[in-house]
Structure 1
């Protein structure tokens, strides 16, 4: 039986009160109460447990219990819902090509190919891009060359793998075109830390050694802040809703130039991305997050050098010792991954760590 308006208001209010630890009135704004994008995942999960079909976009578009109840009640009655004009996931994904339909695109990107000695390999973060690191690698690479691995689909319509293990295997094949044998030097910011970890684990199985495996603001594999039950469509919708809220546009085609410029400024997009690829890039993001969320890690016998934010230091879930034989941890007061990558103190420690491997 469908929930009536008052029941929806009650369910939403109770969930917000539990998650935010505040009293909630019918017309209270979720974000004004202290809500944030990742907490919406918990709201959606809890709502569905209580029989209320809610999406992340519903909360971004209708930010109070009363507005949510009105919108969901109207939708249940068959009214035309107000919403963004962005293309749905299926429409975007269908524009992609399977590996049977296209030649594999290179994922290896020269960031600073000049230099001598063992190269440093850097891995893309959650948005799939890595080229922004070209402006940062000089702060820690020393005299070594540096290369990046970006996600499949960044500059082509090749569909990316939905398995982190498969993704890592492909990157490893390309790494070996530059450096056939170890020891290897890896740097993985954010989601790239898990990719670097899996590649290091595969190399260990093959009898190779990773001399430096540095992860930067990366939660250990096996932890999650999203709902692993979500599929690609829900992850894609969550991403679009997050962007609409961040840039205060009703849909991503409104004031698209400002939107894309803002995403370049925070390194979520590379320069010269075709505006026609904006939604495709978000579908690629969804594929990458799906692969991360469904990755089941295996133990790694080497050392992981962890660069973490102070806000995560006391979280048991942030302990890399659960998956690695040894860890070396450095903690920084920083606002996020990009500010940490730009921090001279971080660069100095990472440079020293890389320099400790004499080749």
Structure 2
């Protein structure tokens, strides 16, 4: 039986938590649009190109400079306070604060995109009765030495950026990428991360019966990759490398349980802020905005968007319920922020803890980690071993 996915959509944020918008219109700005505007203003002030991840203070900024930049932003219709700009010292951080509902963010309240919400009947229509070969067939990322390939489990978004990053890592090594369930068609049935890993494991064993195996995963796919590696080692196979890039942080301490329908509601609220949606856009309009930001590749059409959000919610719910079991193999863990990550429990008491790289982008978006030069350099060296 399919779960009831009558999405509980959070209400629009209150007046003191409004999202960024233009002063002369009710239309909100999406996160990337705010980010681009901030980069433009900072570049004009400092006299050279500023990237979304450049730190205001590292650039030589001070309180006088922030006052000047904030005044320029307000002239361009962006509601922002000096205190917020000082607390979020990169264009990317400040843009997320303003558009994703951070406390004290200024702008226009928005509503979740209703076109993406699915009632139970529609949810059943995008679900499949069983897995198919297409669900577990990897696509080539990089050509090269087939004797020591890298197998990647992608996340639910930014797959194009992930593929480009992996291609920079490989240095003449073949690489193949698995999609998450539901990414290419109707959502196959699963109730746990272990079920997803087992399906991919059967395909992986068929393509490469013997190790050593080299695995990597992004986002939710990182949790699946960890479970794949654990099962391979449990069967006696050699896993030469496991890399987890920006895995989800999991629920905050004391946060109540959230099922797929609650998570879907949160996802839709996030999309509203991320892409400047007011709630009444059609699927075609939402698709145009998402495509501009390259969340999905060119194979995704407007009609695919509700399914993709539901597929994410189901797997995100399974990841939140996932019990990280011990893993004692060689691993790299790339995290955004200083906080301990739930995946680190998989190495509790292990003789060989993971090589943890804590980056300091401080963003909801994983793009900064995906593109980070430190990640690329570390992965190239690890794959050369």
Taking the TM superposition and a 5 Å limit, the aligned residue runs for 1:167-186 are 167-186=196-215
SS at match of 1:224: coil
Partner of 2:300: 273
| Post-superposition offset of 1:296 | 1.1
- 2-side partners of 1:294 and 1:339: how far apart? 27
Of the candidates 230, 241, 247, which is equivalent to residue 218 of structure 1?
247
Partner of 1:202: 231
CA RMSD of aligned residues (A): 3.3
Of the candidates 345, 348, 357, which is equivalent to residue 322 of structure 1?
345
Partner of 2:179: 150
- 2-side partners of 1:339 and 1:285: how far apart? 21
- 2-side partners of 1:354 and 1:252: how far apart? 47
Taking the TM superposition and a 5 Å limit, the aligned residue runs for 1:107-146 are 107=136, 108-127=138-157, 130-146=159-175
User: 1:347–1:274: structure 2 CA closer, same or farther, 3 Å change rule?
Assistant: same
- 2-side partners of 1:342 and 1:188: how far apart? 15
SS at match of 1:156: coil
User: 1:99–1:88: structure 2 CA closer, same or farther, 3 Å change rule?
Assistant: closer
- 1-side partners of 2:303 and 2:344: how far apart? 43
Partner of 2:319: 292
| Post-superposition offset of 1:89 | 3.9
| Post-superposition offset of 1:159 | 2.9
Contact 1:160 1:284 survives alignment (8 Å): no
| Post-superposition offset of 1:330 | 2.4
User: 1:184–1:261: structure 2 CA closer, same or farther, 3 Å change rule?
Assistant: farther
- 2-side partners of 1:35 and 1:130: how far apart? 26
- 2-side partners of 1:350 and 1:86: how far apart? 36
Partner of 1:76: none
SS at match of 1:120: strand
Normalised TM-score (structure 1): 0.69
User: 1:160–1:149: structure 2 CA closer, same or farther, 3 Å change rule?
Assistant: farther
Contact 2:141 2:167 survives alignment (8 Å): no
Contact 2:116 2:305 survives alignment (8 Å): no
SS at match of 1:146: strand
Displaced runs of 4+ in structure 1, greater than 6 A? 32-36
SS at match of 1:98: coil
- 2-side partners of 1:158 and 1:27: how far apart? 38
Partner of 2:257: 229
For structure 2, list consecutive stretches of 5 or more residues without a partner in the other structure.
1-10, 21-83, 85-96, 104-108
SS at match of 1:272: coil
- 1-side partners of 2:239 and 2:101: how far apart? 33
User: 1:229–1:178: structure 2 CA closer, same or farther, 3 Å change rule?
Assistant: same
SS at match of 1:136: helix
User: 1:92–1:31: structure 2 CA closer, same or farther, 3 Å change rule?
Assistant: same
Determine which structure has greater relative contact order: mean sequence separation of CA pairs < 8 Å that are 6+ residues apart, divided by chain length: 2
Q: Report how many residues are paired.
A: 286
